[in-house]
Amino acid sequence: MQQERNIIVIGHKNPDTDSICSAIAYAHLKNMTTHSHHYVPMRAGEISQETMYVLDRFNMPVPNYLGDIGAQVCDMEIRRTPGASKDMTIKQAWDFMAETDAVTLAVTEEDRVIGLITKGDIAQTFMEAEDSRFLSRMKPRYRDIADTVNGTIVVGDGDDRFEEGKVLVGAAMVERMQEHIEPGDLMLMVDRVENQIGALEKGAKVLIFCLGAKANEEVIAKARTEKAVIIETSMDTFAVCMEIHKSVPLESFMLKEDIMTFRMDDYTDKVRAAMASTRHRAFPVVDSNDCYVGTISRRNLLGIQKKRVILVDHNETSQAVDNINEAEILEIVDHHRLGTLQTLQPIYFVNQPVGCTATILYEMFVEKGIEIAPSIAGLLCAAVISDTLMFRSPTCTLKDKMAAGALALLADIDIEAFATEMFEAGSDLGNKSEEEIFYQDYKKFTFGNTSFGVGQISSMSADELQEIKKRIQPLLRHECGKNGVSMVFFLLTDIRNSSSEMLYAGDRAEELADIAFKDAPKSDGSYYLEGVLSRKKQLIPAFMRAINLM
């Protein structure tokens, strides 16, 4: 029986503080109000310096990374069939397959997969067992031979193996029988003492007495002298002939090379393609330590369960974690324009024209009468301050200011001092590469046939922004064309002066900027945008209108 799967709460790619903090806070709220499932916050990109400062300040662990939400092996119904020992006999394996309704067994040693055996392999092995030396080539242990024919070892070491010779039925007269015996042979016999002695004299290694025949003291003494093995069974000779080959160990004919295994975190598109290239019906699954878990088959692909997810702070396919269309979206909580995501059925969708997703979550806590812990209040307050640029952004509403004030009291922080520390931490990018800075807060937008990307860095220091500009500007053209975008823009936002400098690259980027901000001063490959702080409310709407005019 599969255990209850977690429900993932996640923000957009290249997550900002609102995206991370809202995912953590909403997962916390859901876990407090819903006890039938467990909600886990995750992230779809690297954590920014600003967000890291916030998480450290409130002793909150960084959510685990999830770069692709496509179905994985761990989402499949895994058949938890125990691994088989390489010393297991065909009879034991066949009986075990019958009990577990399995057609494939993984052969394991210390939890590692060392072989694979199928019912088809077993059947083929018997079809190829056409000569009397087949058994010795497979080298079964004497105890396994005895167990397979329901026998008992009277003389000999059960751990030794039958490694040479052929299988004969000793039913002829002694002289005639001895003409065919060679040293090392295995003889099926009844209660003729002269035949038993004669076989041992010619070097027979194993005597199996059928039909309940018993070895007398003379035969036992002779066997010990010749270092032979005696096994007694109540089965008749024909039955022993039919069963004895089932004593061979799996190690002798299992598949040992090029075993196709899948890991728990492998994606099903890879699994599907790999399964199509081989005849096997079931395949071993291993965990991150390469320890055997169970098996999966093609049939398991049909009933695979999609990952269940709640999205916060976005509703655009281009901004969502990879393969979002393969997941089951349960809820969306957002404050942006309606995007391109589609669902197969109605979902709980909250979208409000406020400056921050965290403001919406604060209202949810209040509506449900759930007390907000100081650490969660701190995260939500930080998100509001970050997304509204300490209430300077045109996206900021009265709701945002009221929420931030209430949350600051709960978290015991001074908004002005905390905001300064947070923004300074976010703009301290000395240890980051140009690519890391560029993609720290980067989003892709698509309108019709036009796709472009916009990155943004905010700081309280104009001098610091100029240093970032020197590092970022040479990178823009190099990044243009990646990820399916034809133009890229980068906003250097001065929080204190409520303005932004916009860098650009791409064949039609300047044309788009000229139409969108025709009166903006332009110099040195950039535009000075007075009063522009919000990518969502000021930049993107202007670009949308401009694209319609191009």
Percent with pLDDT over 70 in the chain: 99
Instruction: Please enumerate in sequence order all residues whose Cβ is within 8 A of that of 54, keeping only pairs 6 or more positions apart, or say none.
Output: 17, 21, 60, 378, 379, 382, 386, 422
The answer to whether the CB of 376 falls within 8 A of the CB of 25 is: yes
Asked if pLDDT for residue 337 goes beyond 90, the answer is no
Direct distance between the N- and C-terminal alpha carbons of the chain, in angstroms, rounded to an integer: 58
CA distance 306 to 327: 5
Architecture of the CATH domain 434-549? Roll (3.10)
pLDDT surpassing 80 at residue 303: no
3-state secondary structure 528-550: EEECCCCHHHHHHHHHHHHHHHC
Mean pLDDT of all residues belonging to the chain: 91
Q: Which CATH number is 140-247 given? A: 3.40.1390.20
Q: How confident is the model at residue 234 (pLDDT cuts 50, 70, 90)?
A: very high
Three-class DSSP category at 296: strand
Task: Give the residue extent of every domain in the chain.
Answer: 7-70+307-426, 74-123+252-302, 140-247, 434-549
**Within 68-118, where are the H helices?**
90-100
**% of the chain at pLDDT higher than 90:** 60
8 Å CB contact between 387 and 16: yes
- Domain 7-70+307-426 maps to which CATH number in 3.30.70.100, 3.90.1640.10, 3.30.420.40, 3.40.50.620? 3.90.1640.10
Sign of CA dihedral 378, 381, 387, 389: negative
User: Residue 103 — pLDDT band, cuts 50, 70, 90?
Assistant: confident
User: What is the rounded radius of gyration, in angstroms, for the C-alpha atoms of the chain?
Assistant: 37
Three-class SS state of 64:
strand
pLDDT of 94 above 80: yes
Output 354 or 4, whichever has higher pLDDT: 354
| Tokens standing for residue 485 | 């975008």
Query: What would the pLDDT profile of 131-166 be if each residue is shown by its tens digit?
Result: 789 899 889 999 999 999 999 999 999 999 999 999
Q: 449: buried, middle or exposed (CB in 10 Å: 19+, 13-18, 0-12)?
A: exposed
Angle at 274 between CA 269 and CA 277, to 5 degrees: 135
Confidence of residue 3 (pLDDT cuts 50, 70, 90): very low
The yes/no answer on whether domain 74-123+252-302 falls in CATH 3.10.580.10 is: yes
Question: What's this model's pTM, rounded to 2 decimal places?
Answer: 0.67
Per-residue pLDDT tens over the stretch 523-546: 888 999 999 998 888 999 999 999
Burial of 286 (0-12, 13-18, 19+ CB in 10 A): buried
pLDDT at 105 over 50: yes
Does residue 1 have a pLDDT over 80?
no
Greatest pairwise CA separation for the chain in angstroms: 117
Handedness of CA 288, 293, 297, 298 (dihedral sign): negative
Q: Indicate the pairing of strand 292-297 with strand 282-286.
A: antiparallel
* Contact indicator for 408, 385 with CB cutoff of 8 Å: no
For residue 129, the model assigns a pLDDT of: 64
Kindly report, residue by residue over 494-512, the tens digit of the pLDDT.
988 899 999 999 989 999 9
Instruction: Please indicate whether residue 129 or residue 331 has the higher confidence score (pLDDT).
Output: 331
Q: What is the dihedral of CA 27, 29, 34, 39, to 10 degrees?
A: 10
Residue 2 is predicted with a pLDDT of 44
Question: pLDDT tens across 319-331, in order?
Answer: 999 999 989 999 9
Q: Compute the distance between CA of residue 264 and CA of residue 277 in angstroms, rounded to an integer.
A: 20
pLDDT band at 4 (very low <50, low <70, confident <90, very high): low
Mean pLDDT of 202-221: 95
CA distances from 254 to 65, 100, 101, 105, 131 (A): 39, 19, 19, 10, 20
Confidence tier at 35 by pLDDT (50, 70, 90): confident
Residue 132 is classified by DSSP as T
Is residue 350's pLDDT more than 70? yes
* DSSP H helical ranges for 68-171: 90-100, 119-127, 134-138, 142-148
Query: Which has more confidence, 422 or 459?
Result: 422
